[in-house]
């Protein structure tokens, strides 16, 4: 490699990189700086600065993170292939195959072109995740690139700034968290927040400035007693106080629905010690000094986060009865918390955690290959990269990583698809919980299953992880096809019997397929079961186009009034106990066993069951209606909605609840609203029969102050 001449400014760049990472090779860096200066000659950024400012700054970030020579070189060269005439072959010859690989990976990612913007983004991130899995150093270049772009984004148009800032919050902030780069994470959060919600950002900045003196005084009122306590115990440690970043404070305001002045824990006290035993000793001293809040204690030393973060978090009631968060960690843990496990990287990742910290990458590569839809893939990234991740355990001690807010059902699917499909709940700390129970970091979970359990559509609202949603959709798609065919065959047989077509005169399968344009009888039954073939068309085919006598037509297309009952000749389809994905109960009238009911054949849905008194039936033509009846084995509860209009009387809600006692119903949800003289109570509960609900309504109507009670 030849020696090159550099300008004083370029020499300064090399000096800065060497200072930040003394392990870098000065001669190679000088050649790389000269190379990009020539390659980007005449190119300028929107700020008016020479384009080389950007790769220089990216390389500085990487050097400060102690990244190796090929990574820092790739940071310097990352835009060369995309924005200049130079090729990867030249880069490989000049700076090595490793550097060329990373430049190639980043170039392919940023240069991915698609006609559809959503598809373009999805393809870009697919390539990013794939490249990261092959060589994790690629993402360090992307993060450094994004950091500098965010720092200089004020020169872009407002709408572009907002778009990039939101993307940063959705994708790059979670990535920095995954890699444990907390210092860069908080910077990215605040820079993004500044452009996504500038008004709220400025309010918090102003409040922090206004309260700075008061806040610093309070921090000292916490640190002072701590220092005295540690000195009295002859305990050697470093105590620091820091204000949490702006975006973190904003999220606290949102989650607690309060104003800035109501947030007491906007700062954290950090105690840094030498060894792990000293962490627990320090914890004891802190709890001796102030009362801890048990609900806000987290031990990330015993259960590290997936990105290797370790620390003890405890919240205590400090001076002036204000909440104070205290973090306790060793010096090594503090280094990892600030710079992530990137601080430990040599390329081969030869650490005691080798392979563990990047297992999520393999998981993501596997899952993304199963998601073809671009929008679904982008949604998957936003959930699966979510920074608030946690680790939970199987009874055998295997760790499972899940996004914050995941449920028992997510955990079951994360272990095995079959376990998820048949999950009925779980045992956590000897307590049996339901499948929609949200799990917490560090919990040990034993999944409970039953061979008879099958998923329902509501499960899609319970799960948070994309894997669980994928498996549920896959199962439901298969089950809907099977159930549609079974229902379609039942409807077809019923119509043949209603029309009194003798078996030897029934149309052949070839005639059926030809008339309805289906490829097979399964296809025909599926379309019938999903409500895509109107009964009128089926009748026209069966009778050869002739019309039915009036009495037959009434039996075939029964008229459903509130005083009508299904007659035996209608041969109603039985609505049974089993879970069905092609038989649904209408929300508008919420029919219950004991109600007279009617089915509506709806395309792509199947049969929608209504109460015969439902006013919405007038919106459906007669040929969509089909006779249905409750089967004798129905014993499960159904959701019921009651609206109760009342006087605005004290304790009337308690009187209403009193009437539910002993009624064998399960209250799911209740809301109360009141005006000056009136009130309204809405209740959702599960009941077994309509007579049961009628009895409850009668009791509620007798309560003083109740004006009206109505179903649904």
- Which sequence positions are flagged as catalytic? 82-83
C-alpha span between 74 and 76 (Å, rounded): 5
Give bridge partners of residue 706 from the DSSP assignment.
646
C-alpha span between 494 and 628 (Å, rounded): 12
Give bridge partners of residue 640 from the DSSP assignment.
685
Task: Give the contacts of 588 (CB within 8 A, at least 6 positions apart).
Answer: 610, 614, 616, 712
Question: Helix 97-110 and helix 117-134: axis angle, to 10°?
Answer: 160
Task: Give the contacts of 636 (CB within 8 A, at least 6 positions apart).
Answer: 577, 688
- Cβ burial, residue 89 (10 Å; 0-12/13-18/19+): exposed
650 half-sphere exposure, CB direction, 13 A CA radius: 0
Of 1, 153, 176, the closest CA to residue 73 belongs to: 1
The answer to whether the CB of 538 falls within 8 A of the CB of 495 is yes
Instruction: Give the gyration radius of the chain's Cα atoms.
Output: 33
Of 222, 135, 138, 128, the closest CA to residue 171 belongs to: 128
Number of alpha helices (DSSP H) and beta strands (DSSP E) in the chain: 29, 20
What is the DSSP secondary-structure string of 433-500?
Answer: E-TTPBP-TT-BEEEEE-TT----TTHHHH--SHHHHHHHHHHHHHHHHHHHHHHHHHHHHHHHHHTT
Of 382, 248, 389, the closest CA to residue 305 belongs to: 389
Give bridge partners of residue 638 from the DSSP assignment.
687
Q: How many C-beta atoms lie closer than 10 Å to residue 406's C-beta?
A: 25
Q: Helix or strand or coil: residue 637?
A: coil
């Amino acid at each position: 490699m030849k020696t090159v001449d550099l300008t004083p400014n370029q020499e300064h760049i090399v000096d800065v990189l060497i200072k930040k990472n003394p392990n870098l090779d000065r001669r190679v860096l000088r050649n790389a700086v000269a190379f990009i200066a020539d390659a980007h000659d005449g190119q300028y950024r929107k700020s008016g600065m020479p384009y080389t400012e950007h790769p220089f700054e990216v390389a500085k970030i990487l050097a400060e993170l102690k990244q190796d020579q090929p990574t820092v070189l790739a940071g310097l060269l990352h835009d060369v292939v995309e924005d200049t005439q130079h090729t990867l072959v030249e880069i490989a010859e000049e700076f090595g195959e490793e550097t060329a690989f990373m430049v190639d990976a980043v170039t392919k990612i940023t240069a991915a072109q698609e006609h559809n913007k959503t598809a373009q983004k999805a393809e870009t991130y697919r390539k990013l995740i794939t490249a990261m899995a092959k060589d994790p150093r690629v993402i360090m270049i992307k993060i450094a690139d994004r950091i500098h772009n965010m720092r200089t984004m004020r020169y872009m148009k407002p709408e572009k700034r907002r778009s990039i800032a939101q993307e940063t919050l959705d994708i790059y902030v979670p990535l920095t968290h995954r890699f444990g780069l907390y210092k860069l994470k908080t910077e990215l959060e605040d820079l993004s927040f500044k452009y996504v919600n500038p008004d709220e950002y400025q309010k918090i900045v102003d409040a922090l400035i206004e309260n700075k003196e008061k806040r610093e005084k309070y921090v000292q009122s916490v640190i002072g007693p701590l220092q005295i306590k540690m000195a009295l115990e002859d305990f050697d440690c470093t105590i620091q106080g820091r204000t949490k970043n702006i975006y973190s404070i904003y999220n606290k305001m949102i989650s607690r629905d309060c104003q800035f002045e109501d947030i007491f824990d906007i700062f954290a006290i950090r105690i840094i010690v030498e060894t792990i035993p000293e962490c627990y000793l320090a914890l004891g001293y802190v709890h001796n000094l102030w009362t801890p809040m048990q609900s806000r204690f987290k031990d990330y030393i015993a259960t590290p986060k997936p990105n290797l973060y370790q620390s003890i978090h405890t919240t205590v009631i400090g001076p002036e009865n204000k909440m104070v968060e205290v973090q306790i960690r060793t010096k090594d843990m503090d280094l990892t918390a600030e710079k992530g496990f990137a601080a430990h990287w040599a390329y081969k990742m030869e650490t005691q955690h080798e392979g563990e910290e990047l297992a999520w990458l393999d998981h993501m590569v596997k899952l993304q290959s199963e998601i073809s839809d671009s929008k679904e893939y982008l949604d998957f990234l936003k959930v699966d990269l979510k920074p608030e991740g946690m680790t939970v355990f199987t009874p055998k001690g295997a760790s499972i990583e899940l996004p914050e807010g995941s449920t028992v059902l997510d955990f079951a699917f994360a272990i095995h698809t079959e376990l998820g499909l048949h999950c009925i709940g779980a045992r956590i700390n000897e307590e049996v919980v339901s499948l929609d129970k949200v799990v917490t970091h560090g919990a040990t979970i034993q999944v409970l299953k039953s061979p008879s359990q099958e998923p329902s559509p509501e499960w899609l609202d319970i799960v948070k992880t994309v894997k669980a949603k994928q498996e549920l959709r896959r199962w439901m798609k298969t089950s809907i096809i099977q159930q549609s065919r079974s229902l379609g065959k039942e409807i077809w047989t019923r119509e043949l019997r209603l029309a009194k077509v003798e078996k030897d005169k029934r149309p052949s399968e070839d005639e059926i397929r030809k008339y309805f344009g289906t490829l097979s009888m399964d296809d025909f039954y599926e379309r019938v079961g999903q409500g895509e073939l109107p009964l009128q068309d089926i009748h026209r085919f069966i009778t050869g186009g002739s019309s039915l006598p009036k009495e037959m037509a009434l039996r075939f297309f029964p008229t459903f009034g509130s005083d009508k009952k299904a007659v035996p000749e209608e041969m109603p389809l039985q609505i049974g106990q089993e879970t069905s994905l092609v038989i649904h109960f209408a929300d508008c009238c919420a029919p219950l066993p004991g109600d007279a009911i009617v089915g509506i054949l709806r395309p792509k849905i199947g049969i929608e069951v209504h109460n015969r008194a439902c006013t919405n039936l007038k919106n459906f033509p007669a040929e969509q209606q089909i006779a249905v009846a409750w089967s004798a084995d129905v014993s499960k509860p159904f959701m019921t909605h009651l609206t109760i209009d009342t006087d605005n009387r004290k304790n009337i809600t308690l009187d209403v609840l009193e009437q539910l006692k002993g009624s064998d119903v399960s209250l799911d949800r209740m809301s109360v609203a009141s005006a000056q003289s009136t009130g309204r109570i809405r209740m959702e509960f599960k009941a077994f029969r309509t007579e049961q609900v009628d009895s409850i309504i009668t009791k509620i109507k007798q309560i003083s102050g109740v004006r009206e009670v109505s179903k649904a």
